[in-house]
Amino acid sequence: MFWRGNPTTGAGAAGRDWPRNGSLLRGKVHKKIKGDDWLEVSEWQQAGTKGFVSGEGKNLWVPFSQGGTLLHEIKG
């Protein structure tokens, strides 16, 4: 999975440390932009590490699906 830019403005993502499978992402959900739901990431924890990294101001977005589900909600 890799960062996408803002789907509403087209502004590119400012992050190269892409989240690997199993990473934890936090942020704001945006419903139905260009046919999909998107997460605007405010912080993430790379798989296999401890602690979250700030994504504020970096324009980091991830679609909920891409030919299959990319993001899964963690309950609890």
Closest CA to 22 of 46, 43, 38: 46
Span 56-68, pLDDT tens digits: 988 999 999 988 8
Q: What is the pTM of this model?
A: 0.86
Q: Residue 61 has which token pair?
A: 């977005």
Q: Is the pLDDT of residue 16 over 80?
A: no
Q: Residue 47 has which token pair?
A: 């798989």
Report the 10 Å Cβ neighbour count for 33.
14
pLDDT score at 40? 95
**What is the domain partition of the chain in residue ranges?**
1-66
**Alpha-carbon span 72 to 41, nearest angstrom:** 14
Instruction: Name the band, by pLDDT with cuts 50, 70 and 90, for residue 43.
Output: very high
**Alpha-carbon span 42 to 53, nearest angstrom:** 9
